[in-house]
Structure 1
Amino acid sequence: MDHELDRRRVRRGIRNLVGTTAIAALVALGTSSCIASPQPDAASTSPTAPEAASAAPADPEQAAELAELVQDAMDDMHLKAVIVKVQVGDELVIEQAFGESMTGVPATTDMHFRNGAVAFAYVSNLLLQYVDDGTVALDDTVDEWMPDLPESDVVTLRMLTNQTTGYPDFETDEGWTAAYNADPFHLFTFDERLDAAFSRPMQFEPGTNWSYSHTNFMILGEILSQIGGAPLDELIQERVLDPMGLEQTAAYDSSFIPEPVLHSFSSERRVALQVPPGQAFYEESSFWNPVWGTPMGAAQTTTVDDLVTTAIAIGTGELLSEESFHEMTDSKLIGFGEHLPSCGGSCFTQVDAYNYGLGVVRSGDWILQNPLLSGYSAVEAYLPSDRVAIGVAATFAPEAFDDDGIYDNAADSLFRLIGAYVAPDSPPPTKG
């Protein structure tokens, strides 16, 4: 690979990504509540501890070029911190932290952050394990577990997992949004979120369209808890996180983040708090309660090491049968879906650059999740053909937010730049 040529070509694309949201980042993927897991030993992960030990990059020159690429992008995207890890097969390409967690506190590669919708991949993996052992089938209807849901005798487990139920997203309910902005530390219960979701009619008949809705995975998590006969966090820990070897990923029922913490900052409440355009507004958002977005029992924190381990495990189907792996990761919805007034921007036609599997996003040949929430941006992504695994976490400087407090998924844009550099023959798409 001519790394210098590729580096120049990729860097030319940075400014084309800034100020736009890549197709795979059209949807902000959230986090939620969970049952507390044992907390890591704080003494072993103090904020002043050195960075976690890792193997040296296989190609130091390539690592240096990628570091320059990240630093250039940080300037253009107005990022406060970036943590990145790239692995090809068994070889480490780069593992490095850039910028500051807080003023005067450098970011380090062992810092913890919220992983948001990465948990959707774990939830879907758990469901497919139950499919593999014959406990359930993807086309089972949800009335077996939650008969009072609208269209419960039509909506299936598959529809919940591939976002085709037609259930409204509670996150887009004006009342819920107002409550969240008024108190981002509030722990939203399952019933509160369910009431917000179904305060409006169905967006469309089940199975006839595609629309991103946090409601789907919230309901799926509740059903999986019933299927497994235990709290969701326990089931995911036992059947997904532990078998994958994820040592720094855990669920909590509070705003807790294990030390060392990658702190986040946000301006997203600017409009709700009626802050005038042009007036400085930037607040710490690290400990906003993440009890929204993911199922009860799946609000998690993680590290960049675990993002890469996740990318490999999900992208290779490590815990699943071959049939279930393809159900989860194949592009089966390209060309499906259309915009409808009933669901606003959350429903659109699935394209090569963004199409949904079962709890994962497909973008070209890449399998990924790309959460954006509370000032955190992250990506875990895998390219099976080249065995490339990428983990990125990013936080934002004040200039990253527009006058309405809106900001792009910078980790997703960074992943696409890095992916194009490391795998130039199979770069992540940047346009639909």
Structure 2
Amino acid sequence: MKRTPSPTRPRTRARARAALLCVALLALTAQTSAAAPALAGGSGGHGGRDCVRTQGPLGGQARKVLDITRKAKKDLKLNSVVLKVTLDGREVVTDALGESMTSVPAEPDMHFRAGSVAFAHIGNALLQLVQERRVSLEDTVERWLPFLPKADKITLRMLATNTTGLHDYVTDPAFGAELEAHPFRHWTPQDLLAFPFSHSFWYEPGTNWSYSHANYLLLEEALEKITGTRIDEFLEQRVWGPLGLRDTQNNFTPDIPSPVLHAFTSDRGLYEESTFWNPSWTTGPGAVITTHICDLARSAEAVGRGELLSPRSYRTLLNPGTVGLGHPTDTCPATVCLPQTEDKHFGLGVLVVGGWLVQNPSFSGYAAIQAYLPSQRLAIAVSTTKTADTPEGNTAEDVAELIAAALAPDHPLDV
């Protein structure tokens, strides 16, 4: 006889399925909640939640660094100081002093603009292409930059080492007046290059040294042509990804991933917030970066140790042949053609200062420095913001120099 199913069985199975579904949904909810902090503040897992103040009792070096930093913050009348110091890759101290905004404490995971730190990354990425024999530093750039005057005389090395003779649009009074009047303006590479192209060269390419943002604007475009890859994607593949710089990224708009370290400046004659002034003028699109202090310290270590380079390429990074250049001439004044010596010269995307490898961006109320001393395996990363009474100049350098004097007294950092 055919058995009739019990009427209770379907309901039992339905309740079981419902219970299992409920458990699955609860598990998914828990996973999503746990993941939310990591996803806060931007795409790709940005958010800086792994960058926090040093936990537990502070060691003697950490206390010394913080005492120095607190005094410097007071003496320089700073709004905030964010810092991280490592020794042989181990944390000495990570901290943030002061405020991001009124009644909003500064925190180590806050993001800030990093400007020319991107130049150190671009220099490393270029040298990787040289290692792979895809290009030579002595290649002239007319095939990639046919619009550039004297392109058949200018090499990739000259762009990377600031020896082309091109004027710097940042120091051009006409550019400065426009930037001051319109800090939110979006600048294209064509807008920016119009300034140096309106002047004759300071000197014949390769014969002298002078800093020019135009060189890296052009180098980034050449690298995009060489690789067929957008510069932000190229840097992610070659530098940011391999080094684990998850909170270092390009921004095509003036936005900054949350949480944000806010900036203020008196550059235009009144003290005002400058956090979201448009940074498109600082370098080419795709390399306009923000970061946080932990990534900046990691960048200092990796660039300073040559982690991404062969020993030969690392030597090129440090000593590209600028030593002895930078002499003033009738066409290149002393304020432009700054002397390059063994103790202080521009490497390939980095400053080499008394044995330290440095990058030191400063603009629109933000100041920062990454510095690494290979002989001591010491990394110092500092970011500062201003009050109305903060003195002119890169105050992050001032703080870093004081820290260096305490931790490496035989190797002063004098940027």
Could you say which TM-score interval applies, normalised by the shorter chain?
0.7 to 0.9
- Alpha carbons 1:215, 1:293 under 8 Å: kept: no
1:112 corresponds to which letter in structure 2? H
Partner of 2:135 in structure 1? 136
Q: 1:187 to 1:429 in 2, by over 3 A?
A: same
Partner of 1:117 in structure 2? 116
- The reply to whether residue 186 of structure 1 matches residue 173 of structure 2 is no
Structure 2 unpaired stretches of 5+: 1-37
- The reply to whether residue 100 of structure 1 matches residue 89 of structure 2 is no
In structure 2, C-alpha distance between the alignment counterparts of 1:62 and 1:229, rounded to whole Å: 47
In structure 2, C-alpha distance between the alignment counterparts of 1:346 and 1:414, rounded to whole Å: 26
Partner of 2:403 in structure 1? 418
1:300-319 to 2 correspondences below 5 Å? 300-319=289-308
Secondary structure in 1 aligned to 2:142? helix
1:350, CA displacement in angstroms? 1.4
Partner of 1:167 in structure 2? 166
**Deviation per residue, 1:342-372 (Å, 9 max, x gap):** 4442321113553100000011010010110
1:416, CA displacement in angstroms? 1.1
Partner of 1:5 in structure 2? none
Partner of 1:375 in structure 2? 365
In structure 1, C-alpha distance between the alignment counterparts of 2:383 and 2:163, rounded to whole Å: 29
Partner of 2:347 in structure 1? 357
In structure 1, C-alpha distance between the alignment counterparts of 2:117 and 2:326, rounded to whole Å: 23
In structure 2, C-alpha distance between the alignment counterparts of 1:331 and 1:146, rounded to whole Å: 22
Partner of 1:223 in structure 2? 222
1:43, CA displacement in angstroms? 8.7
Partner of 2:385 in structure 1? 395
Structure 1 range deviating more: 420-429 or 205-214: 420-429
Secondary structure in 2 aligned to 1:346? coil
**Deviation per residue, 1:177-235 (Å, 9 max, x gap):** 22211111111001111112211111111111111000000000000000110211111
Secondary structure in 2 aligned to 1:413? helix
- The reply to whether residue 198 of structure 1 matches residue 183 of structure 2 is no
Structure 1 range deviating more: 349-358 or 289-298: 349-358
1:165, CA displacement in angstroms? 0.3
- The reply to whether residue 88 of structure 1 matches residue 78 of structure 2 is no
Partner of 1:22 in structure 2? none
1:397, CA displacement in angstroms? 1.0
**Deviation per residue, 1:140-163 (Å, 9 max, x gap):** 111121122111111111010111
Equivalent residue for 1:296, pick from 282, 285, 291: 285
- Alpha carbons 1:168, 1:343 under 8 Å: kept: no
- Alpha carbons 2:232, 2:287 under 8 Å: kept: yes
**Deviation per residue, 1:352-409 (Å, 9 max, x gap):** 55310000001101001011011111011111111101110000111125xxxxx111
- Alpha carbons 1:85, 1:94 under 8 Å: kept: yes
Q: 1:58 to 1:298 in 2, by over 3 A?
A: farther
- Alpha carbons 1:58, 1:91 under 8 Å: kept: no
Secondary structure in 1 aligned to 2:389? helix
Partner of 1:427 in structure 2? 412
Q: 1:332 to 1:50 in 2, by over 3 A?
A: closer
Equivalent residue for 1:321, pick from 310, 315, 318: 310
- The reply to whether residue 339 of structure 1 matches residue 328 of structure 2 is yes
Using the size of structure 2 for normalisation, the TM-score is 0.86
In structure 2, C-alpha distance between the alignment counterparts of 1:100 and 1:392, rounded to whole Å: 15
1:409 corresponds to which letter in structure 2? N
Which of 1 and 2 has higher RCO (CA within 8 Å, sep 6+)? 1
In structure 2, C-alpha distance between the alignment counterparts of 1:106 and 1:137, rounded to whole Å: 48
Identity %: 42
- Alpha carbons 2:401, 2:413 under 8 Å: kept: yes
Partner of 1:13 in structure 2? none
Indicate the structure (1 or 2) with the bigger Cα radius of gyration.
2
Partner of 1:70 in structure 2? 69
1:63, CA displacement in angstroms? 1.3
In structure 2, C-alpha distance between the alignment counterparts of 1:157 and 1:396, rounded to whole Å: 37
Secondary structure in 2 aligned to 1:337? coil
- Alpha carbons 1:58, 1:93 under 8 Å: kept: no
Partner of 2:209 in structure 1? 210
Using the size of structure 1 for normalisation, the TM-score is 0.82
2:352 corresponds to which letter in structure 1? R
Structure 1 unpaired stretches of 5+: 1-38, 271-280, 402-406
